[in-house]
Structure 1
Amino acid sequence: MTDFTGKIVLVTAAGAGIGAATAEGFARRGARVMLSDINAEGGEAMAEKLRSTGHDVRFLRADATVEDDVETLVRKTVEAFGGLDVAANIVGDAHRDASGPDLHQQSLESWEHTQAVSLRSVFLSMKHEIAYMIDHDGGVICNVTSLAALLYVAASGAAYAAAKAGVVRLTKFAAVSYADRDIRVNCIAPGVTPTDAYDKAGKEMGQMVIDHLLPFQPIKRTIATSEQADAIAWLCSDEAAMVTGHVLPVDGGWTAR
């Protein structure tokens, strides 16, 4: 297991799902971790779980679509731990209009909400993380995109696909722009990974989505959130020192079809 002892890590959307697994994974590897989530109850519960097992973590509620919140989050992370070495930007939402995912049925409200949560959040997080890292010996950032950014996934909806494609381009743009500042930027594209997002429309509907998507994945099982977290940890480790601007599908072979 890659050792992150002495590293300071910021994880957004850390209250549940891939974000919670990522925060736990970094903590188990020795990092000091700032957890953040818009859901204060879930985020603090996760932080308390990690503290109870001896890990050095803190929680700060923040809305990653609001610039003041993001600026405060980065600043408070530095104040709490003395720096920022690694950031995992995991905020995202497949929210769409109740009329369905078809482009011609997409409401403007739904489109703008999805762009804000799945794309603006990554832009704001990277903006403030990079601003700190530039003047403090660099760092590493890992974002979370989606297979919908790489290929057609009807269940994702048009707004989500467009937003997550934007995350890919932001990742690659930043990777090239800041490579000479010793800042690496990558992202993962998860395959079928059950999280609380699948349950937002009810467990039955969430299971229907999983059952629909799983046949596209050559390895015919769902992917654990901890497996996504392991991929994030590797991309942020010294073992991946020459990996930047990369989109890593953690998808059971889906994109290889």
Structure 2
Amino acid sequence: MSNYQGKVVLVTAAGAGIGSATAEGFARRGARVMLSDINAAAGEATTERLREEGFDVRFLRADATEEADVEALVRKTVETFGALHVAANVVGDAHRDASGPEFHQQSLESWEHTQAVSLRSVFLSMKHEIAYMIDHGGGAICNVTSLAALLYVGASGAAYAAAKAGVVRLTKFASVSYADRGVRVNCIAPGVTPTEAYNKAGAEMGQMVIDHLLPFQPIKRVIATSEQADAIAWLCSADAGMVTGHVLPVDGGWTAR
């Protein structure tokens, strides 16, 4: 397990799912962690649970699609902990887009919502994280994309696939642009990882989505959020010091087909 003693980590969408597991994973590795989420109740609950275990964590509510919120989040992280070494940008939402109308029937409102939550949030987060890092010795960033960015996934709609493909390109662009200034940028592409998002349309619908996707995954079991968090922690660690611009599928072999 990578050691993050003395490191400061910022995690978005940390109230639940992969974000919550990521915040916990960094905390258990010794990091001081700033958690953020648009859902204050969920974020505060996760933070309180980790603080009860003795971890040095804080929470700040922020809407990652709003630049003022993101700028304030990075500033508050530095003010609270004195630095920012690592960021995990986990925000994303397919709910309004997934399993909905066909591409030619999709509303502009749905398209723009998905682009904002799944792509604009990553752009804004990286913009302000990198601005700090390049003036303070560098750092490491991991974004969360999707298999829908790499191949056709019928349960994901066009807007989500396009937004997550944008995350891949932003990751690669930033990785080259800032490599000589000490900032590494990678992303993971999760396979079938049940989170609260799967159940937004109801537990039965969430299970139907899992049942539909799992046959495409050679390792025929769902992936734990902690396994995605482990991949993020590795990519941001010194053990991956020469890894940048990489898209790591944590997908049970799906993309190897």
**What TM-score bracket applies, with the shorter chain setting the length?**
over 0.9
In the TM superposition, what is the alpha-carbon distance from 1:99 to its structure 2 partner?
A: 8.2
Instruction: Describe the SS at the equivalent of 1:94.
Output: coil
Counterparts of 1:4-23 in structure 2, within 5 Å, are 4-23=4-23
**2:67 paired with 1:67:** yes
The number of residues matched between the two structures is 257
Name 1:179's counterpart in structure 2: 179
* Per-residue Cα deviation, 1:21-78 (whole angstroms, up to 9, x for no partner): 0000000000000000000000000000000000000000000000000000000000
Task: Look up the equivalent residue of 2:79 and give its one-letter code.
Answer: E
State, as a whole percentage, how many aligned pairs show the same letter: 86
- Quick one: distance in 2 between partners of 1:134 and 1:17? 30
Task: Look up the equivalent residue of 1:79 and give its one-letter code.
Answer: E
TM-score with structure 2 length normalisation?
0.99
- Quick one: distance in 1 between partners of 2:4 and 2:114? 33
**2:167 paired with 1:167:** yes
Extract unaligned runs of 5+ from structure 2.
Answer: none
Instruction: Describe the SS at the equivalent of 1:252.
Output: coil
Task: Look up the equivalent residue of 2:128 and give its one-letter code.
Answer: H
Contact 1:34-1:77 within 8 A present in 2 as well: yes
- Quick one: distance in 2 between partners of 1:209 and 1:7? 37
Q: Alpha carbons of 1:204 and 1:99: their partners in 2 closer, same or farther (altered >3 Å)?
A: closer
Name 1:211's counterpart in structure 2: 211
Instruction: Describe the SS at the equivalent of 1:155.
Output: coil
Name 2:141's counterpart in structure 1: 141
* Per-residue Cα deviation, 1:181-216 (whole angstroms, up to 9, x for no partner): 000000000000000000000000000000000000
Name 2:188's counterpart in structure 1: 188
Contact 1:95-1:110 within 8 A present in 2 as well: no
- Quick one: distance in 2 between partners of 1:222 and 1:202? 18
Name 1:88's counterpart in structure 2: 88
- Quick one: distance in 2 between partners of 1:168 and 1:187? 7
In the TM superposition, what is the alpha-carbon distance from 1:96 to its structure 2 partner?
A: 2.8
Instruction: Describe the SS at the equivalent of 1:156.
Output: coil
Name 2:158's counterpart in structure 1: 158
**2:197 paired with 1:197:** yes
Name 2:52's counterpart in structure 1: 52
Name 1:37's counterpart in structure 2: 37
Contact 2:95-2:200 within 8 A present in 1 as well: no
Contact 1:101-1:156 within 8 A present in 2 as well: no
Greater shift after overlay, 97-106 or 190-199? Answer: 97-106
Task: Look up the equivalent residue of 1:146 and give its one-letter code.
Answer: S
Q: How large is the Cα RMSD of the aligned pairs? A: 0.9
Q: Alpha carbons of 1:198 and 1:122: their partners in 2 closer, same or farther (altered >3 Å)?
A: same
* Per-residue Cα deviation, 1:139-190 (whole angstroms, up to 9, x for no partner): 0000000000000001100000000000000000000000000000000000
- Quick one: distance in 1 between partners of 2:141 and 2:99? 36
Contact 2:97-2:158 within 8 A present in 1 as well: no
* Per-residue Cα deviation, 1:62-107 (whole angstroms, up to 9, x for no partner): 0000000000000000000000000000000003359824101111
Instruction: Describe the SS at the equivalent of 2:155.
Output: helix
- Quick one: distance in 1 between partners of 2:102 and 2:128? 34
Q: Alpha carbons of 1:231 and 1:105: their partners in 2 closer, same or farther (altered >3 Å)?
A: same
- Quick one: distance in 2 between partners of 1:235 and 1:51? 25
Contact 1:7-1:32 within 8 A present in 2 as well: yes
Task: Look up the equivalent residue of 2:165 and give its one-letter code.
Answer: A
Task: Look up the equivalent residue of 2:113 and give its one-letter code.
Answer: H
